[in-house]
Amino acid sequence: MSKYFKTAYQFGALGGLMSGLSFYVLSLFYPDPTNLNLVFGYLITPITVFLAIKFFKDYSNEGYLSFSEGMSVGAVSFLLLAILSTGIIWGVLESSPSLFSAIQTAKWAALEQNKEVIISQVGQVSFEITQTNLQSMSTWDVALNDGIWKIIPGMFFNIIISIILKKNPNIS
């Protein structure tokens, strides 16, 4: 079993650490690093999944890869990336209440700035619910949101990459 997941663990851990580190570095330059970190996540997640599957295929599986092997390796990779990213971001926010406050303030300002558009699209009641939810937002909510937005594209890219890299031995 470790044959299947060694590269997934390595690349998932590396991707998760890079994502957490990017959040921290972006927080030094921007009051709300969440949106830019999501963009970084959209770049790092498919790279992580691709490298995990490619290295598994080339170095652990003699150049062959079934769709299910690719899906398994890729899933472990992007799930580990998401878990580590979530944990690191939560830790950064817990250790820096001022950063969390700045994020909350930036999100509040964006909500107020787009009030008319939001109300016209989803209605006054939904806008008020969003305001209430934003007031009760916690550090865990911010971190979990980042993790979820690593999983969703991870699933999509995992399917595509597993299909592209699939190579079965010739059956004679």
60-77 pLDDT, tens digit each: 988 999 999 999 999 999
In a domain, 130, yes or no: no
Is the pLDDT assigned to residue 137 strictly greater than 60? Answer: yes
Q: How far apart are CA 39 and CA 91, in angstroms?
A: 20
| Residue that has been written with the tokens 């330059």 in this structure | 29
Domain assignment present for residue 123? The answer is no
Report the 10 Å Cβ neighbour count for 60.
16
pLDDT of amino acid 3 = 75
User: Averaged over 94-110, what is the pLDDT?
Assistant: 95
The boundaries of the domain holding residue 17 are: 2-95+139-165
The number of distinct structural domains making up the chain is 1
Q: Please state the pTM of the whole predicted model.
A: 0.90
Judge whether 116 lies within some domain: no
